[in-house]
Amino acid sequence: MAEQTRINGTELAEEFLADFLRHPEGEKLKLCIQCGTCSGSCPTSEFMDYTPRQIIAAVRAGLLDRVLNSNTIWVCSSCYSCTVRCPQGIRLTDAMYELKRLAIKHDLFPRGAKAPVLEEAFMHEVDKYGRNPESAMMTRFYLGTNPLEAVRQAPFALGMLRRGRLKLREKRIRGHAQLEAISRRAEEVD
Ligand code: SF4
Ligand code: SF4
């Protein structure tokens, strides 16, 4: 992991709000009444250091650095229960994605967390090939988390290779240049 960016919770909260308020219906975030319906509906909140309701409280209190340094956003399974049930129409799942983007941008996640490495590996392969070749993604993931696990999985990979279930050379999708143009445009807008 790169050296952590020196950015405090208030600055993070301001950056998050500026980005999130540009989402469709992002303004509704300000309408949170802290009812806790989101946390009560969330199938993974009991494993989170901060519940979905507490995330909005943290944004308001300028304590977003604590949330990003916790396991919360990486435990979210994107099931949309919170979004569907929020009485104020707040799209909390979108907020989780926005927080993941922010965490990766500022290199703020718990030491040893695997989900951010997996997400980076996934995006790297999609950028390169226009899709996700699993063998390349998993190699990248193991090298970033536990290289010994890559060695342990080698016999399994060889077996798949023999049965033609794994490729050594991956091909880009047709129209990859168009995908690159879309990504570039999205980054400019961002
Ligand atoms: S359900 Fe909606 S209004 Fe209630 S705490 Fe969660 S985000 Fe806020
Ligand atoms: S989308 Fe994430 S935060 Fe919302 S209920 Fe599902 S797991 Fe919980």
Give all domains of the chain, ordered by start, each with its CATH number. Answer: 9-105 (1.10.1060.10), 115-189 (no CATH)
Q: Report pLDDT for 5.
A: 55
Cα–Cα distance, 59 to 46 (Å, whole number):
20
Of the listed ligands, the closest to the CA of 78 is 2
- Provide residues with CB under 6 Å of ligand 1: 32-38, 52-53, 56, 86-88, 90, 92
Q: Is the CB of 102 within 6 Å of ligand 2?
A: no
C-alpha dihedral over 33, 36, 41, 47, to 10 degrees? 130
- Render pLDDT for 109-163 as a digit per residue (tens, 0 to 9): 887 888 888 888 998 999 999 988 888 888 899 998 999 988 898 898 899 889 8
Tell me the percentage of the chain whose pLDDT exceeds 90.
46
Supply 100's token pair.
């993941």
Ligand 1 atom with minimal separation from the 85 CA: 1
